Chains A and B, each alone.
Chain A
Amino acid sequence: MFKFFKGDNWFTKIKDGLLKTRENLTARVKSLFSMRKKIDEELWEELEEVLICSDMGVHTSNMIIEDLKKKARELKIKEPEQLVEHLKERIKECFSNRELGLFTAENKPTIYLMVGVNGSGKTTTIGKLARRLKNSGNKVIIAAGDTFRAAAIEQLDVWAQRVGVEIIKNKQGSDPASVCFDAIQASKARGADYLIIDTAGRLQTKYNLMNELKKIGKIISREVSDAPHETLLVLDATTGQNSLSQAKLFNDTVSLTGIVLTKLDGTAKGGMIVAIENELGVPVKLVGVGETMEDLQDFDPQAFTDALFSA
């Protein structure tokens, strides 16, 4: 069933990571459907609560329930337990079809731009991602584009040393767009396979900061015409409904190609992934499921839903 996973390690990790989500969703759905004798309004209301408690949001939860109701009518389903399988199918449908993993450009360098609100885990994710790319034999450069927060450059510098990749940086307070420019020139000159660009955390409602981000995006695509090849929103998995606002406004500013969901281990409700894919169509590409370097993994919707419902 889990042929999409390359090793047991990853499966155990995400399974552990999802334990909470599973407890909240699987167990509750199961007990809900097995305790109830008939399909009635009360059951639907309780299902709605279960879904909302996984941070799936009112809108997406209602949509799923409406579809499930229709299905139940069409197929004349009488037993609540029969609904479980349909629910699983319906949740799977929320995820768009996509290639697994990140895009690699034909011509070097492939450029990844990381964006997100403060404290979502951008810098740590870059460290992990750089390690992963380097381990598969690539030359990686990282750019310290967070020139605002105190010691953000130093933080990325520590990661660069740990992973053993080159870092392009300037002083705190310098123009982030110029750091990006320098990093692209350096990546071209040194024949780097990948360039990963860090940016300062910003709340999606800050007009000026979002404009700054737009400028960074412009510089990148001016220097390398089809870049950035991935623009990834780094999103904290404990975030609630604000994740939708984040995905929407960052998407409006720099057109996101995907989401990195961090801190999914332990605290995750996970439901917001479903909401984001369903309402905005931005795919989750990577998930962080632990503290170590190896805990950044490709997100596989099929496996995710299976894991969500596996006993």
Chain B
Amino acid sequence: MFESLGEKLQGIFKNLKRKGKLKEQDVDSVLREVRLALLEADVNLKVVKDFTKQVKEKAVGQEIWNSLTPAQLIIKIVKDQLTELMGSANSKLTFAPQPPTILMLIGLQGSGKTTTVAKLSNYLKKQGRNPLMVAADVYRPAAIHQLQVLGEQLKIPVFSMGDKQDPVNVCSGAVKKAVGLGCDVIIIDSAGRLHIDEDLMEELKNIKLKVRPHEILLVVDSMIGQESVNVAKTFEDQVGIDGVILTKMDGDARGGAALSVKAVTGKPIKFVGIGEKTDALEPFYPERIASRILGMGDVLSLIEKAEAAFDVEKVEELEKKIKSQSFNLEDFLVHLQQVKNMGPLDQLVGMIPGISNIVGSSDIKVDEKQFKRIEAMIYSMTPEERRTPEIIRSSRKMRIARGSGNSVSDVNKLLKQFKEVRKMLKHVSQIEKVVKKKGKSKFKLFN
């Protein structure tokens, strides 16, 4: 029931695999399924209709290249079109030539504004800016306190005038204060509101008139349904927005809202919220989300994360070891720690292409505690044992088990796993050699 859009599309395209030519009726039958798949992903109906029409125009009469099967060709067209619809480049924040730059976050209740204000401030702080968070949600109980707690955690100042003041005054007060505090970016946390609430929409207009934010960002819950279009359109028409932040993308929502919102407002999605922690905010890359929707996995994101977290020297050393086949438990430990640095494991696993085919997207469960146990066992070994695991026999096993608070069978399991990993790595390095000999590798979606 909950298969992803990508799984769905792959299922459809499997049926096309053996057909040699791309005909109009093939395209039609595929597009009927694409349409349903997109609708199930909560893409708005009107957007879906435009989308399938565009794909059809491009697909029918398209010459089939020798290098691509018809199925690959359609995937390519669908993906390109998705990417185009969501904006073809990564859209950055614009900063005022004369600081402070004023950003305001708006949106429905519960879309994640306050958390996102903290994440965005943290993100900008890491880039060397001095943000000031402004508590302009005077309605929700403890909203101000929430921002203050987050501010304390992140060591970022919070401006508040309590919950008795008009939000317009709070915002203009913050602007006056910012310069004195040495802050160059002001981020306003506005109260959540329904887009049909005229009084509260009026309030946003008044804040806008008073402080003239350089960017107004609409915060949208990635789980939102068909209503996304009305929400985005109303906020755009009434207040005017400059961009969108998509939240809660770490769940299993298929992200159809990304497509819809972009299509109706024409405004770029600038950031994506991907977790509960204050650093779980990423720039939005249309191409990656498009391939994620298509189930190709977010390969690029994975690579980038890996690059940032992996210590290049250690990795090179590891590679050398793998090739010389002297990979031991010490290296295994280094490897584990590198992987851990990359972030929550279930997030990483979810990004691996094709993984959702194997386990089903909602079944990806990684027990991080297991990692700690493995670490404990390796730490309980002598350096000699780590370098030559073969010498670990029964009495050593018992000592390691006791020392790490595990059972002997756990130690056995670890040793067995390690052997398998080593075997696998050997295999990989052999493949690599072959590939290098041939000069280039061909990437194939289907074989």
- Residues on A lying within 8 angstroms of B by beta carbon are 20, 49, 52-55, 57-59, 117-121, 123, 148-152, 154-155, 157-159, 162, 172, 203-208, 236, 238-245, 248-249, 263, 265-269, 272, 279
Contact = CB atoms under 8 A, between A and B. Distances in A.
Contacts of A172: 149
B2 A53 contact: no
A145 B243 CA distance: 35
Interface of B: 1-2, 36, 39-42, 45, 108-112, 115, 140-143, 145-150, 153, 194-197, 221, 223-228, 230-231, 248, 250-254, 256-257, 276, 346, 361-362, 364-368
Contacts of B197: 266
B49 to A, nearest CB: 9
A64 B112 CA distance: 35
A57 to B, nearest CB: 7
A149 B40 CA distance: 31
B146 A149 contact: yes
Contact of B225 (A58, A203, A239): A239
Main secondary structure of the interface of B (DSSP, over half): loop
Given A238-B224, A265-B194, A118 B256 contact: no
B105 to A, nearest CB: 14
Contacts of B251: 117, 203-205, 242
Given A205-B251, A269-B226, A52 B39 contact: yes
Nearest to A127: B141
Contact of A204 (B140, B226, B252): B252
B231 A249 contact: no
A118 B111 CA distance: 8
B1 A55 contact: no
A117 B248 contact: yes
A272 B227 CA distance: 12
Contacts, number: 154
B146 to A, nearest CB: 3
B91 to A, nearest CB: 24
A170 to B, nearest CB: 16
A172 B145 CA distance: 13
B36 A58 contact: yes
B291 to A, nearest CB: 20
A208 B153 CA distance: 23
Contacts of A57: 40
A117 B149 contact: no
B225 A249 contact: no
A162 B163 CA distance: 15
A202 to B, nearest CB: 8
B226 A240 contact: yes
B149 A236 contact: no
A204 B367 CA distance: 16
A58 B39 contact: yes
Contact of B142 (A148, A151, A241, A242): A151
A249 B153 CA distance: 32
Contacts of A121: 109-110
Nearest to B145: A151
Contacts of B2: 244-245, 248
A238 B362 contact: no
Q: Pick the 3 closest A-B CB pairs, nearest first.
A: A240-B225, A119-B110, A158-B141
Nearest to A57: B40
Given A123-B141, A242-B252, 20 more contacts: A53-B226, A119-B221, A151-B145, A151-B148, A152-B146, A154-B145, A155-B145, A205-B346, A206-B250, A238-B231, A243-B223, A243-B225, A245-B252, A245-B362, A263-B194, A265-B194, A266-B195, A267-B194, A267-B231, A272-B225
